[in-house]
Every structure is written in C-alpha cells, then in structure tokens.
Amino acid sequence: MLNTLGLFILTALAEIVGCYLPYLWLKQGKSIWLLLPAAAALALFAWLLTLHPTAAGRVYAAYGGVYVATAIVWLWLVDGIRPSPWDLLGAAVAMLGMAIIMFAPRNI
C-alpha cells in the first residue's frame, strides 16, 4: 500500500513539475529553457504511470485523488499559499476515493 502511494506521489510531482515549468515561462517571463526539464518531467510522469500492476483505467482514476492532494501541498510549499480548510477537506475526500479504488477487495 505504501509503495503504491509513494509511486503515485512521485508521479504527481513529475506531472506538476512538468506543468509548472512552462507556467513559469509563459506567465512569469522565465527562461524558455525551462521547457526542456518540463518535457523530461512529463515523460517521467507517463513512464511512472506504467509501473502500476493494475488496469490502466483504475490507476488513472485513483491517481487523480493523489494528484489533488499533492497539488494542495504544492500550493502551500511552493506557491506559499496556505490551504483553506475546504482545500484540505477536498484533498482528504480525493485521497479517500483513491484508497477505495486501489485497495478495495476485487472478488465481487
């Protein structure tokens, strides 16, 4: 279970970095060279998604919950914006959804 969660967190970080770097270039006038590590991060993101041993659709659905929670942590640590109680509740609900999708018994 921890391996799955850890892999999802790494995947989310790769996706966020891959999207954040072009944002810095487009919105904050940073160097266009940021697109190179952004592309590498997005390639890493796609590869990490393939490492899960379950059906792709289930992985994508569950990953979304971890992405939401990781993005809220990013909001706090990188953007410097403290999450509201509603942000935290939403992230907790998303993580609950991920846990149900990934760890529920499948013998039904």
Residue 47's domain spans which residues? 2-103
The mean per-residue pLDDT over the stretch 38-57 comes to 89
- Residue 82 inside a domain? The answer is yes
Provide the pLDDT for residue 108: 64
36 within a domain of the structure (yes/no):
yes
The total of structural domains in the chain comes to: 1
Q: What is the mean pLDDT of the chain?
A: 92
pLDDT at site 4: 81
Q: In this structure, is residue 67 part of a structural domain?
A: yes
pLDDT at residue 1, rounded to an integer = 64
Find, among 11, 3, 2, 30, the residue nearest to 69 by Cα: 11
Q: Is residue 108 part of a domain?
A: no
C-alpha distances out from residue 4 to 32, 63, 94, Å: 34, 10, 15
pLDDT at 91 over 70: yes
Is 69 part of a structural domain of the chain? yes
